[in-house]
Amino acid sequence: PLRGQNNVQGSCDMGCFPHELPGYRPVSVAATRASFEKDWGVTIDPEPGLRIPNMLDEAVDGTFKALYVQGEDILQSDPNTKHVSAGLAAMECVIVQDLFINESGAYADVFLPSAAFAEKDGTFTNAERRISRVRRAVPPAAGMADWEVTCALSEALGYPMHYNHASEIMDEIARVTPTFAGVSFEKIDRLGSIQWPCNDEAPEGTPLMHVGTFVRGLGRFMRRVVVAGHVPAVADMVAFLRRDKYHGMSVVGACIAGAATESEIAGIPVFGDMGDVPAAVDMASADTVAVLSCPEMSGVRLRELAWELEKTGTDLCVAPALLDVAGPRTTIRPVAGLPLLHMDHPELAGGKRVIKGAFDRLTAGLALILLAPVFAVLALAIQLTDPGPVFFWQTRIGKDGRPFKVCKFRSMIADAELHRAQMETLNEASGVLFKIRRDPRVTKVGSLLRRWSLDELPQLFNVLTGDMSLVGPRPALPQETARYGHHMRRRLVVKPGITGLWQVSGRSDLPWEEAERLDLRYVENWSLALDLQILWKTTSAIIHGSGAY
């Protein structure tokens, strides 16, 4: 990239990364290489090149011999100038092409001329993907354009390049790169500028990449991931990423720790053991590796794997053996060369909890005043359609296992609890929950109350009395808590809430295991900001009505 001139973004688009060809297409993919090999008449090495720091490392070691630098003063831009100086001095041939002899140029064996911005005829691309023309105002003082110098050098090295004008280079780019298939100087001159992608689907470019929603959350433009670890952990990761596509990761292969005979896990092919990860990346055309916690992957092996993946530009993610602990509670602190993951304790007491309690009661009090007319209308509707009490009181388990009476608008017939035992066989929920999608005990008004979660409004009284919070785990029944495992009792260290992660993530449509995980995740990562985020998402959950029955 020509620093301070045209153009860093354009250079990245054109394949300046060592692991990519133009259009951000991985050099490791055979089909991608084939389209360029056919046009260029050469065979392209599937192994990526080196990044600047690695070039200098190998130059010092004596294995990297020559460097051609165009418009980049690496001795100025790299923070470790001694390292750059040592690398440049160790090379057998350094070629620098620039406007003047800069700091790096002092190490040049050959110095080639370059053109200033007013001497250029071509294109530049800005950060919004907009390709614009740059036109020559004066002829190059050196007598040659940058691309003409590159062509002459290529000719001297034995590979002929024949272009009569910069527009022909853009035509070649369009020919071999689908993202730019519709780009030409003529079209840029006619439209003024073009934002890629520009092809048959978008012949005049793509001004907006996301309309109405983000395509990443729809499962497009996914990272292709090879997961490495033990079978149960790999299966869990596959299920998690399939369910929550908004993370932008799709598992395309697995490598198993230990002695495993599986050929696939949940439909994902197994490519071998932990030593086969680099090969699996190539076979699956993956761009990311996720290493799950396992003793077989020692620090030394993990470092060697990182070195291997660096060659192909493959991202490496390492998952610690922590469950549902969010970033604010974790920090990495280097100790004796080891990156130790420090985990803070959750904020279950103290000043922030006092603020949460005050916010809950103040908000509940104001809501009860503002919603008084709504309460009156709903109470009248319940009475007119099914005589009996307006409110439904039920024992639930609160903070520290203390029972309390939760208050709701009655949405079922008055003696609904008496019929529950005979309806156990109709239960559609998993785990300790009891839910029936079309429960015959629900009244006509009750079905509307449940659809719009209006039956939950009287719980504001429970918030006002301090038994509940606006946001928290779901308030559980005594018979449910009696069946809790040891780890699930962790959810009882905080007050239950009217809404929570479980409610905004699908409610009754979620399997019990996921509802359990979300409740524990809330307890472990509670913050005032998370509460506000959940309250905001509750509105959307109510409108969509998923899991409300």
Q: For residue 190, what are its two tokens? A: 């006619």
Q: What is the pLDDT of residue 426?
A: 66
Sheet holding 66-70, edge to edge: 66-70, 93-98, 110-113
Quick one: pLDDT at residue 364? 94
Give the integer Cα–Cα distance in Å for 379 and 6: 69
> CATH no. for residue 219?
3.40.50.20
Residue 441 in tokens: 């005990």
- Check if the beta carbon of residue 161 is closer than 8 Å to that of residue 151: yes
In a domain, 339, yes or no: no
Specify if 532 maps to a domain. Answer: yes
| Number of domains forming the structure of the chain | 3
Please tell me whether residue 256 adopts helix, strand or coil conformation: strand
Q: How confident is the model at residue 6 (pLDDT cuts 50, 70, 90)?
A: very low
- CA 292 to mean position of chain CA atoms: 17
Place of tokens 């399997």: 511
154 near 161, Cβ under 8 Å? yes
Judge whether residue 11 has pLDDT over 90: no
Give yes or no: residues 528 and 384 share one domain: yes
pLDDT for residue 114: 87
292 and 429 belong to one structural domain: no
> Has residue 135 got a pLDDT over 90?
no
Domain span at residue 416 reads 351-544
Q: Both tokens of residue 348?
A: 């279950």
Helix intervals (H) in 259-350: 277-284, 299-311
Structure tokens at 87: 């690398």
- Last-in-domain residue among 321, 338, 366: 321
If asked whether residues 54 and 166 sit together in one domain, one would say: yes
| SS3 at position 16 | coil
Reported confidence tier of residue 92, pLDDT bands at 50, 70, 90: very high
What is the per-residue pLDDT across 23-59, written as a single tens digit (0 to 9) for each? 888 787 777 888 888 888 889 888 878 888 888 888 9
The answer, yes or no, to whether the previous bond of 79 is cis (omega within 30 of 0) is no
The CA distance from 390 to 409, in Å, is 6
Same domain for 385 and 306: no
Two structure tokens written together for 306: 């990182």
Mean pLDDT of the chain: 83
Q: In the prediction, which pLDDT does 286 show?
A: 87
- Which of these three, 195, 224, 253, is where a domain ends? 195
pLDDT at 323 (0 to 100): 61
Instruction: Looking at the structure, tell me whether residues 177 and 219 fall in a common domain.
Output: no
Same domain membership, residue 286 and residue 191: no
CA angle 280, 285, 286 (to 5 degrees): 75
User: Which of 72-86, 151-165, 400-414, 468-482 is least confident?
Assistant: 72-86
More confident residue, 504 or 360: 360
Name the pLDDT band for 465 (thresholds 50, 70, 90): very high
- How, if at all, do strands 25-26 and 66-70 pair? unpaired
Q: Which residue has the tokens 């697995």?
A: 254
Q: Is residue 346 in a domain? A: no
Q: Which residues contact 532 (CB under 8 A, 6 or more apart)?
A: none
For residue 315, pLDDT beyond 60: yes
- Interhelix angle for 444-451 vs 372-385, to 10°? 150
- Looking at residue 4, its pLDDT comes to 44
Nearest-angstrom CA–CA distance, 44 and 25:
13
CA dihedral 301, 305, 308, 314 (to 10 degrees): -170
One domain for residues 46 and 163: yes
Task: Please check whether residue 491 lies inside any domain of the structure.
Answer: yes
pLDDT of 428 > 80? The answer is no
472 found inside a domain: yes
Contact 67, 94 (CB under 8 A): yes
Q: How far apart are CA 7 and CA 13, in angstroms?
A: 10
80 by DSSP, 3-state: which?
A: coil
User: Does residue 334 belong to any structural domain of this protein?
Assistant: no
Predicted confidence at residue 431, as pLDDT, reads 55
pLDDT of residue 546: 61
Residue 2 has pLDDT above 80, yes or no: no
Decide if pLDDT at 227 tops 50: yes
Q: Please state which of the ranges 9-23, 131-145, 165-179 shows the lowest mean pLDDT.
A: 9-23
CA 114 to chain centre: 41
| 25 in the same domain as 53 | yes
Terminal-to-terminal C-alpha distance of the chain: 58
- Which residue among 195, 227, 245 closes a domain? 195
463 and 406 housed in the same domain: yes
**pTM metric for this prediction:** 0.53
Alpha helices for 338-393 (secondary structure H): 351-370, 372-385
Domain check: are 166 and 231 in the same one? Answer: no
**Section 348-369 average pLDDT:** 90
Whether residue 206 lies inside any domain: the answer is no
Q: What is the model's pLDDT at position 338?
A: 66
CATH number of 21's domain:
3.40.50.740
Average pLDDT over residues 472-479: 88
Peptide bond into 102 cis (omega under 30): no
Tell me: the pLDDT tens digits for 279-292?
Answer: 888 888 888 999 98
Over residues 476-496, the mean pLDDT reads 84
- The mean-pLDDT minimum among 342-351, 401-410, 497-506 falls in 342-351
The answer to whether residues 458 and 524 belong to one domain is: yes
* Candidate ranges 74-78, 123-127, 357-361; pick with highest mean pLDDT: 357-361
- Asked if 436 and 355 sit in the same domain, the reply is yes
Does residue 329 contact residue 524 with C-beta atoms inside 8 Å? yes
Q: Is 331 a member of any domain?
A: no
